[in-house]
Every structure is written in structure tokens, then in C-alpha cells.
Structure 1
Amino acid sequence: MSSKESFSQISPSEFFYRNRDLAGFSNPTRSLYTAVREFVENSLDACDGKGILADVHMSIKAVDAEKPDPKQYILTVRDNGPGIESKHVPLAFGTVLYGSKFGLKQARGMFGLGATMAILYGQITTNKAVIVKSSTDGKTQDEYEMLLDIQKNKPVILKHETKEVSKTGLSVSICLEGDYAKAGTKIRDYVYQTSLITPYATITFDDPKGEKYRYTKVIRTMPPAPTIIRPHPHGIDVETIRRMLSDTNYQIPAVDDNMISKVRKELGLAKKDLDYSEIMKKTEKKWKSLTRPVRIVMALMSFLKMDFEKLSKTTIEEIDIANKKLTYWDFGESQSVSIDMDPESFYYKQLANTVQGETITSFLTKRFQRVGPTTALKFAEFAKFKPEHRVGTMTNQELVKLTDGLQAFDDFMAPDSSCLAPLGESPLKKGMERFFEPDFLEVVQRGASAYSGFPFVIEMGIAYGGKISSRGMKVYRFANRIPLLYDEGSDVVLKVVNDTDWSRYKIKGDPPLVIVSHICSTRVPYKTVGKENVADRPEIERELKLALLSLSRKLSSFMSKRGQADAAIKRKNLYSKYIPLIAQFCTELAGKKNEPNYKQMITEEPIVEEKTD
């Protein structure tokens, strides 16, 4: 007997429901920490995007304080950000992979996944709804109570109401199963380190035990906001090229009622019914002011010789530029019709350019960053394409050839770094000064570099001595201003630090040493969706090594000077102990009454007493 296999499709929310470990929701301990991260980072990103000095308040309260962990907690995070428009709230918090962070620019979030996954985890462990409060105008607040339909990946709104408020912002509250007894240390470290890397933000945390942790901002200036940029040629693949070619610039618009209304409006025919010839006369007069989609529709009409009513009863099947044929389906006659197009027609070029797309040189200069006409011509020669080759006519093999050429061509300029927003040397230094109060502190920001066409910047600080409490080297890892607290053993930063021969820089034993590393990029190469460790890309590893080398040399210089100073103090102590005795002995030996003025031989620096057994 043969058994038939059954096939079915699952939604994104269903997939992550079954595989929530991928997003960092593997157990109550990790899940509580990850939920905190996702909501706090969303708040900080929202404030950063609008240039608002963030004031984020987070609280975790046990539903039943007497129960042992793991148990249900209510996590609430609110901010003073711009809020979310009411119409977007249900989808933003009730749909997996729906968000505003898919553009090519630096952001803490990457996947449009984390916050919704936290809500999903809370729902499947407690069956409680999420409560979202949002105000975009500082006058009216929308409050939603909703669940997530896992199978359909859609929000289920249980309640929606509005009320008056006095400030903008967003508040999200979920009930989830967690283990604060085990996660508490990580969560407190996360809040502490987030304050270190965002010294312009105020973060308050009320923990389940009634303790309040508050870190106020120490600076009032924010890094410049990143901008969305076009892709770099080295960072694309065949699928990206296909999507570029399926852009509306290369598509024949659907001639439906909406499009016909648009055409009428641009031609000034909203209330007029003209025949075909009168419409085309109007088109010739208005041609320069028409938008591209309307021009394409009018070009089609010129060959079809139809008015709007007849045009609405057809659909374009094929435009064959090579054979100068236009094929359409006539719904009235229920048949496919082919007509010839006059290549000398004023409208033929419009259709040809639409179907065939831009030339390869125009495509490169318009669709990619930092590619000029000269570079585009050089690339065409390198990849063995004619400069006038139309990208819309490329075969599958030619698309692969184009993609391979873009990735192999070395004369493209480095990626544009305007999409990045590094913290900056001064803010990083002030943040480290506040938390560590060291004897030695240096920071460095490397110039922008790139891996696989994605720009990145390395910032690093090193602190020694002072009030650094820990004995032994401590490394703080950040990526796009996110503290990375888990899985540090497999992170590229730890690899670079551990591969360094610290004895060369006069660092031995368990020194009071802190290293802060910050990687900012449009696409941080995390090893997992949980965003906890960074892959060891050679380009990133090289920049980390160079940053650490620069700082280590300065630390070595400081240690040398400190060693010299310590030696000088020891010599001074030695002189202070024995010179008075020598002076007394010499005075007696010479038969003099007054001792020589030996005090000038001793510096005015304070004398450090040597310990004696």
C-alpha cells in the first residue's frame, strides 16, 4: 500500500511558535531577558529616529509574589518617543515580520521579529493579551488589548479605546512566564550596559523585589541619525537584482478603475467623456507633465485605439518589442488579440523603455550607491556587457553573470557610511568615565569599512585602574548599541582579545582592565536571530585588531610612565630614609656643628612609606 503525503503551508508566526529558540525564547530565564531587550531596544530606536533624548521606564512585577520561579511576570516598558499611529499598532504588535526596520540603515532591530515574538511567547505561556498604549500627538492615546492569531499571523483585537493624555509615547505590557531569580543578574547587567552605551538616555528599572535602578543621561547630544541608502554592488545577489528589475519602473501598470481615474485627473478629464482622438490630442499637450504610469497607459491607448470604457475591458498580456507586437485579452470578445506597433511612433519608445528597462550603465548609476558613469562603463567592460544593454531583456544566465561581476569588480568605491550612526569618541568616553572612573582611559573610532558590501564602524575604549572593581580583564560587547551578554565565548571580539599577547603591553596577572567594543553596521553578522554574538568576518576581525592595537599601545605607554613614577617614588623613599643618617654621620666625621642642607636633594612629592615586615 502506498501512503499519500499531505502538504500544507504555515504562517511566519506559526513557524516561530514552533521554533522560538531561534529568537532567544528557549526557556523562562532566557525568555524574560530577551523580552526586556526587545522592548527597551524598540523604545530607544523610536526615540533615536526622531532625535528625542530617550526616557525609558521598565518594570517587572510578579503576578503572585509568593510562588517560586519560574512564574508569571508582568513586563511593562514605556517611553517618551513619537508613538505609533493607531492604524499601525495592531499589525506592529500582532504580526510576525511586520515592522519599520527593513531599510538599509543602522538600527538595533533587524528582523521585525523580536517584540512580536515576546508577545507571542507571553501568549503561549500565560494566554494573556498584550496591552499597547500609544500617543503620537500628546493629546489622545489609543489603547489596544489584543492577542495574536498564530495560524493566520494576524492580530485579534479584544478592546480598543482612546483617552486624553499630556505627552507622546508608547507603553507595552505583557504577561509571560519567566525566572527572575536566574535572569535578574543578566537583566540588571543589560540595563547597566545599555546606559553605558547610550549616555544620552535615561533608563529606569523597577525590579520585582522593589529595587529601583535609575541611570540618568550624562550628555544631551545624540549621534546624527542614520540615513537610508541604496545598496552597494558588493552586497547584492541574484534575487536582489530580480527584485530591482521588478520595480514599478519596469512594469506595465494594471489598467483598472483606479488607474483610469488617475489618468483622467492628470489629463484634466475628470468630468468629461471624450472619444479616442480627443483624448490623444489632450495627451500630446499634457505629455511633459504626466507621471510615468499615466504615460505608459496613454502609449498603450495609442496602439489599441480605444477610449477609457473599452480600455477598462482589456488586460495586456505581452509586449513583444523584438517583433513589435502588442497582445491583449479582450474580455468583451473573450479572446486574445495581437496588433502591430509602429516603431516610428512617438509612443513606441515609452513602451520599449518600460519593457526593456534601463541600460546597464544607467541601472548601475541610479540603483546603486557611489557608482558614477565612468565606473559604470568600466564595469560593463569588465563584465563583458555592452553599455547600452537593457537590463529588462537579460536572461537568467545574464543575470547571474551580472551579479557575479558586481561582486568581483574591485573598482567600486567603498560603501557609503552615512547610513551608520556610531556613538562617537566623546560620548563613549563620558559613558566609561561615569561607570568606571579609571586612572587611564582612551577610546578610538575607526574609519568606516565594509564586509560583503555592508558598511561598518568599530568603536573601542579601554580603561585601567581607578575604581574598576573587578580584578581581571572584563570585556563589554555592543553591536548597534545593543549589549551582548550571552554566548560570548564564540564572539569575534573575545577572539581578538584572547589572541592578544598582553604581556607585550606590560599587562600581567589579573589587572583591573575594562575593554568596551562597539560594532555598528547596517547588517551586523549575528550568528543567530537572538543577536548575542557576532561572527568572525575577516574584515570585522581586522578592524577590531587595529582598534585594540592602537589602544594597547597607549596603555603600554601609560604603564611605562606609571612604572617610572613608581620607581621614582621608591628611590625618593629610599633617599628620605638614608640621606638624613648619612648627613648626620658626615657632620660628626667632619667635626662640624651644622648638618648640610640635604633636604633639597629630596623632591617635594609626598613620601610613600614602604611596608616593613
Structure 2
Amino acid sequence: MSSNENFNQISPSEFFYRNRDLAGFSNPTRSLYTAVREFVENSLDACDHSGILPNIHMTIKAVDPEKPDPKQYILTVKDNGPGIPSKHVPLAFGTVLYGSKFGLKQARGMFGLGATMAILYGQITTNKPVKVKSNADGKTRFDFEMKLDIQKNKPVIMKKQETPSTEQGLSVSIVLDGDYAKAGTKIRDYVYQTSLITPYATISFDDPKGEKFHHKSIIRSMPPAPTVIAPHPYGIDVETIRRMLVDTHYQIPNVDDKMIEKVRKELGMSKQKFTYNEIMKKTEKKWKSLTRPVRVVIALMSFLEADFEKLQRIRIEDVDLRNNKLIYWDYSTSQTLAADMDVESPYYKQLANTVQGESLTHFLTKRFQRVGPTAALEFCKFAKFKPETRVGNMTDQELVKLSDALQTYEGFRSPDPTCLAPLGAEPLEKGIQRRFEPDFMAVVQRTASAYSGFPFVVEMGIAYGGKIETRGTTVYRFANRIPLLYDEGSDVVLKVVKDADWNRYKVKSDSAPFIIVSHICSTRVPYKTVGKENVADRPEIEKELRLALQFLSRKLSGYMSKKGQAEAAKKRANLYSKYLPLVAQFCTELSGKKKEPNYEKMIKEETAINNTDENKEVEKNG
């Protein structure tokens, strides 16, 4: 490394401007598809979290229809969701890594990148602003035209206006370079598959060629909205613990006139002058009824031996527990001074607890999910920590030790799956039935499991025959209700499907008309890339997928066996119909009789048995 090198810091937007391939904006074809995805998924998430049945309308128009692809397109997505308050609109659409999806909960979006990256891509390819229309209260619509300052990662508002409107929701429109000639198939598939996995949503799409695609909702009930949960001990690392510790520290309150007035009020002392001893005497009587901030201020006063007047002339700078010193700035002398803190003082513990934060057992039970007092104590024994250890006072080595112990301790309960909102077996079944009208269909929702402390649920459906037009195994992959259309070769679902021995289940996987629908929902889907197109092959997820597929395959095998029996019965009936008349005629001639035997009764009985079996199978499979 040369000493003459220049070192610079770049903003998040600058980073993704230089590396936009990471987010799926690698070329005009992929970028147009990714932009569609991000805006539609933002709309669906907003409606889901607000309990609103989604009604989404998307249009793609060519700026110059006569120009060949790739060319500029206007992409507009409008929804009936809750809208975004006007004060958040500039940051939400003009700042990379700004959003509402960073909590630990199930959501389509994860990184706070998608919509802003689409806007960023549109800006760098066409230099056109994004147009946002938001109505969050059903009374006023706010219209924005903005650009993104890439170097500063800040929005630049070019135009803003208010319009009275009762239509709640959000509309986003960008101009971007795209290639609809190549991306059109993927975009139409995306809209189609989104309607399959969200049967409660109405999605309309007007494409550049004038075609209109309308997928109306088929159910009126929605899955429950996902909830934000505390992390599980298995899903954290040292940095996560360090960030959590910040929240455990009780802050030393700012000792200003307002705080002094609060202390006076809780002590029941008027604004007249009181000596230090009088204040401490009053404190002894009122201590149990005082709030924490007031207790902390009085503890400070005890070591400073300060009355209210002296307290107004100082500023607390540090509480040094290692040296038992209280460091403060004295405005009257313009000096930094130190007061000794007596560890035997009843007020010392108050300050120490404030600075050091929670005890380890309190930290475990309050900051993590599914950790009770008993489990916390057992963990402390396992990790060789004292239960009363103050987490805010831990050294770096102790934090590493704590993190390692949390990962290896086997006594914690599995992560809480109630925060998840899977689609449900019945809605998935209705979605498959409406789209494919199969001869056979089966759906399963596995019980919740977890990987690395993150809960997940696998839902899967399998369908055969009917209006399934494709031949061979067709797999529809979804994660948190997102269709995954690219990079299927490296996805864990395809791996599980390819590993299956379909001959064992009496299915010709290369020619049979059957589909598999797989849905993984989790608080954190392990995508391989920021583009969210394929799921990593985590062993726990792979196991659940395999078990779901085996369960459904056995059901399909049963259907195929009965289907084979029914086909064999049909063949027998056809043979009887063809040859029995000849046999009857020949036998009649040999016997010298004039009347032929009643062979038609045998044919009718065989046909009736065959039809009964078929009807039972149809009733069983809907």
C-alpha cells in the first residue's frame, strides 16, 4: 500500500451505483423485471401489514413505441394500501438502506434496497425523476418529484404539491431503460405466479403492447399480519449482543432546570432554598416512591454534596466505576473536577446499576425470545457466568464467551413460530385449483422449524393432469410469497426435486403433466444474493422440503396406482366389447343353439365398476 494513495469514504447509494448487479440491475432485461418485482412487493407488504385486501394496478409504457428494444419505459405501480406519511416519502424513495423492514419479522423485502435501487437505476439510465403520489389519511394526496443525490445518499425534492383526495394508497412511477421484448415473458409469469401465491389479491397489468392481464382475488380472507419478535439466542453474534447492550444502559439524565424541577416535585419541596442535608433527609422518606431518573440525580447530589443551586452550576461528564470517581464540569470555575464515590454508600448501587445496565439473567429473559428465568439461570451455570453479572460491564473477551455459549447451549427452546404468517393450506389449494384445475392435487403445510435461530415454515402443493399444459416436472418456487424466477439451478428446492426418485412414485418426471408449488416463509429467508432469486441449501430447510415432497409424492403415487388400475379396467372393458360378441357367436354356432348368451350384461357390469372407481377418485381429489 503506497503512502501516496488517497482514501475516501463512499455512501451506500454510491456503493450500489457502482455495484448494481448485486441487487439484480445488471442489464435492461433483468432491471425492468427487478423494478417490477420491487414495487409490486412493496405494495403487497404494505397491504398485508395493514390488513387491506390488495388491489394493485401496474402499467408499463414505452416512451417511444417505435424505437426498438432496449429503450426507455415508464413503469407505474399503484396500490390501495395505507400510503406513506408525507414526511417519510423523500427518505423512503430517495435514500438507500432506509425503510421499515429491518426488524426481525416475515416480509417480502429485507434490505431496504429494492424500490430505491429501481429509482437509482432509472435515474442513472434516463436522468428522469421518480414521481410519487401518497395518500396516508384518505384526505390529502402528496405528489413528489425527486431525484437521489448519489454521493450524499439524500433525496433532492424537485417538486411537491398537495391535492385533496379521498383515495388512500400509493403510486410510484419511474422512467428506466428496459427490454420488454426479452423481459416480457418473465414479467407476465411473475404477475401470474404472484396471483397464485396471493389468492386474496387483485392484480392488474397493462403491458406496452396494449394487452391487459387481470387476476382477480379468489378468496376474501388474508393470512394474519407478521409480527416483530425478539431475536433467538441461536441467531445472534458478538456484534448483535454489543448493539443490544446499548439498549440495556440506563442513561444518566441531563441535569437541567426541567430535571431539577422534577426532583423538587417528587420530593414535595417548593422552590424555596433547601440545604443539602434537608434534601437528603427528605429523600430518605420518599425514596421508594421516586422514579429512576430522580433517584439517579439524587445519587449524584449525594456524592457532590450539592444542593439545587450547586447542581445547576455543573455538568456530569462521566461515572468512572473503576476508579470510583464522579467526573463533572464546574461552570463557576470552568474546570473539570472529580468527586470520590464511596462504594459503601447506599447511593453507589443506584449509579452503578445505571451505568452497568441489566443483570445477565434480566438481559436474557427480557431481550431474547423463549428464555425464561429458569433457562437463564441454567445457561449461566453452563457458561460459567454469575447470574447477577452486569452485562454493561462485560469485557470484549466476556462478550465473545457469552456469544459462543449462546450458540452452543442446547437448553433453549426452539424459536417462536407464531410470528410467521404462512399462506395456509386451504388458500394455496384454492390458488392451484383455480389456475390449473388438476385431476389430482394435494397440499401440505409442515410444522414450524428453525435454522440458526430463525423460524420457518414450508408449504408445498403438487398437482397432476387437468389443464396443466407443460410436460415434465414444473416447479414454482416462492419465498415469503415472492415468486423466484431466476437462478433456479442453484436453488435448494430444485435440488430436492431432482434428488427424488420419481419412478418409485409411478411418475414419468420428463413427460408427465404435473407441477410442484413450494413456499418457504421465514423471518429471514437465506437468499444467496441481494437479488432474492434463490434460496441457500441450509440443511434444516432442505430436510423440511424433502419431507414435504415425500409426503405429497406418496399421495400422488396412490393416485397414479388407482389411475393405472382404472386404465387397465377400461382396457379390459374395451377388449370385452370387441371380442365377446365374436366369442358368443362362435360358441353359439359350436353348440348348435340359436340364441346367443347375454354377454352385454358382463360388459355393463365391468363398465359400471370402472365408472364407480373413477367417480370415487374424482370426489377424493376435488
What does the per-residue CA deviation read over 1:522-548, in whole Å, with 9 as the maximum and x for residues that have no partner? 111111111111111111111111111
Name the residue aligned to 1:551.
Answer: 552
CA drift of 1:111 comes to 0.7
2 CA distance for matches of 1:307 and 1:42?
Answer: 56
Aligned partners of 1:104 and 1:419 also within 8 Å: no
Matched position secondary structure for 1:602: helix
Change (3 A) 1:56 1:339: same
Change (3 A) 1:530 1:276: farther
Aligned partners of 2:263 and 2:294 also within 8 Å: no
2 CA distance for matches of 1:156 and 1:286?
Answer: 54
Name the residue aligned to 2:249.
Answer: 250
Aligned length: 606
Name the residue aligned to 1:535.
Answer: 536
Name the residue aligned to 1:584.
Answer: 585
AA aligned to 1:483 is P
**TM-score by structure 1 length?**
0.93
Name the residue aligned to 2:620.
Answer: none
Matched position secondary structure for 1:167: coil
Change (3 A) 1:569 1:106: same
CA drift of 1:327 comes to 2.1
Name the residue aligned to 1:456.
Answer: 456
1:15 aligns with 2:15: yes
Name the residue aligned to 1:423.
Answer: 423
CA drift of 1:51 comes to 0.5
Q: Output aligned runs, 1:65-104, within 5 Å.
A: 65-104=65-104
CA drift of 1:73 comes to 0.8
Q: Output aligned runs, 1:357-372, within 5 Å.
A: 357-372=357-372
Aligned partners of 1:296 and 1:351 also within 8 Å: yes
Q: Output aligned runs, 1:122-133, within 5 Å.
A: 122-133=122-133
Name the residue aligned to 2:413.
Answer: 413
Aligned partners of 1:267 and 1:282 also within 8 Å: no
CA drift of 1:323 comes to 4.8
Name the residue aligned to 1:468.
Answer: 468
Name the residue aligned to 1:497.
Answer: 497
2 CA distance for matches of 1:173 and 1:112?
Answer: 18
CA drift of 1:381 comes to 1.3
Change (3 A) 1:351 1:213: same
Name the residue aligned to 1:260.
Answer: 259
**TM-score by structure 2 length?**
0.92
What does the per-residue CA deviation read over 1:77-122, in whole Å, with 9 as the maximum and x for residues that have no partner? 0100001111111111111111000111100000111101111111
AA aligned to 1:484 is L
Deviates more, 1:556-565 or 1:3-12: 3-12
Change (3 A) 1:506 1:335: same
Change (3 A) 1:525 1:595: same
CA drift of 1:245 comes to 1.0
What does the per-residue CA deviation read over 1:566-598, in whole Å, with 9 as the maximum and x for residues that have no partner? 111111111122222222333333333333333
1:189 aligns with 2:189: yes
2 CA distance for matches of 1:256 and 1:546?
Answer: 62
1 CA distance for matches of 2:524 and 2:425?
Answer: 22
Aligned partners of 2:255 and 2:315 also within 8 Å: no
CA drift of 1:311 comes to 4.1
Aligned partners of 1:275 and 1:307 also within 8 Å: yes
Matched position secondary structure for 2:88: helix
Change (3 A) 1:595 1:293: farther
CA drift of 1:167 comes to 1.9
Matched position secondary structure for 1:76: strand
Aligned partners of 1:266 and 1:290 also within 8 Å: no
Matched position secondary structure for 1:466: coil
CA drift of 1:391 comes to 1.5
Deviates more, 1:39-48 or 1:540-549: 540-549
2 CA distance for matches of 1:437 and 1:172?
Answer: 35
CA drift of 1:452 comes to 0.7
Q: Output aligned runs, 1:202-601, within 5 Å.
A: 202-247=202-247, 249-253=248-252, 255=254, 260=259, 263=262, 267=266, 275=274, 277=276, 292-306=292-306, 310-311=310-311, 314-321=314-321, 323-508=323-508, 509-601=510-602
1 CA distance for matches of 2:260 and 2:16?
Answer: 43
Matched position secondary structure for 1:86: coil
AA aligned to 1:177 is D
AA aligned to 1:527 is K
AA aligned to 1:495 is K
CA drift of 1:409 comes to 0.7
Matched position secondary structure for 1:519: strand
AA aligned to 2:405 is G
| Percent identity of paired positions between Structure 1 and Structure 2 | 74
CA drift of 1:3 comes to 5.3
CA drift of 1:151 comes to 1.1
| Structure 1 gap segments, 5+ residues each | 609-613
1 CA distance for matches of 2:524 and 2:306?
Answer: 50
Aligned partners of 1:251 and 1:354 also within 8 Å: yes
2 CA distance for matches of 1:398 and 1:200?
Answer: 50
AA aligned to 2:545 is L
CA drift of 1:274 comes to 5.9
Matched position secondary structure for 2:542: helix
Matched position secondary structure for 1:568: helix
Deviates more, 1:21-30 or 1:253-262: 253-262
Matched position secondary structure for 1:82: coil
Name the residue aligned to 1:140.
Answer: 140
Aligned partners of 2:267 and 2:286 also within 8 Å: no
2 CA distance for matches of 1:17 and 1:565?
Answer: 61
2 CA distance for matches of 1:55 and 1:112?
Answer: 23
Change (3 A) 1:398 1:262: farther
CA drift of 1:136 comes to 1.2
CA drift of 1:196 comes to 0.5
What does the per-residue CA deviation read over 1:492-549, in whole Å, with 9 as the maximum and x for residues that have no partner? 1111111111111111241111111111111111111111111111111111111111
CA drift of 1:259 comes to 6.8
CA drift of 1:64 comes to 0.9
Change (3 A) 1:336 1:57: same
Matched position secondary structure for 2:142: strand
CA drift of 1:331 comes to 4.1
CA drift of 1:252 comes to 2.7
Change (3 A) 1:109 1:282: farther
